[in-house]
Amino acid sequence: MESLLKAVNYLHKQNIVHRDLKPENILFNNHDILKLADFGTSKHFNKKMRNVKGTPYYIAPEILNGSYNEKCDLWSLGVIFYILLCGYPPFNGPTNEDILEAVAKGKFSFEHSSFENVSK
């Protein structure tokens, strides 16, 4: 996670927002160096963005509201961290619409038995 945070911090300092951070877009080279991939939805930012971009499990609620900034990437990192801790996403559903509805509500829990062995 520290490497991911550093990579996203670097992007944001260059005024670049990724908008589709997810495990599938995280690569490691032969020396275990993290690399971000798939910049198809990324863009230079200098004002609020309005286009809905991203993958339902990882998309930030403010993107769904149609006015967001580069901090949407931080939401995606939080979702990735949650998945690393327990093995499943915090917002789920049988369809993309259900997932997006759960994301919009923004309610998640650490109370599931999957978190029993995770330190405070």
Tell me if 116 is assigned to some domain. Answer: no
Structure confidence at residue 118 as a pLDDT band (50, 70, 90) = confident
pTM of the model: 0.90
How crowded is residue 119: how many other Cβ atoms within 10 Å of its Cβ? Answer: 5
Active site residues: 20
**CATH number for position 54:** 1.10.510.10
Tell me if 114 is assigned to some domain. Answer: no
Q: From 47, 5, 57, select the one nearest 26 (Cα to Cα).
A: 5
Identify the domain containing residue 9 by its residue range.
2-108
The answer to whether 21 and 76 have CB atoms below 8 angstroms apart is yes
pLDDT tens for 41-70 read 999 998 889 999 999 999 999 999 999 999
- For the chain, how many structural domains are there in total? 1
Terminal CA-to-CA distance of the chain, rounded, Å?
17
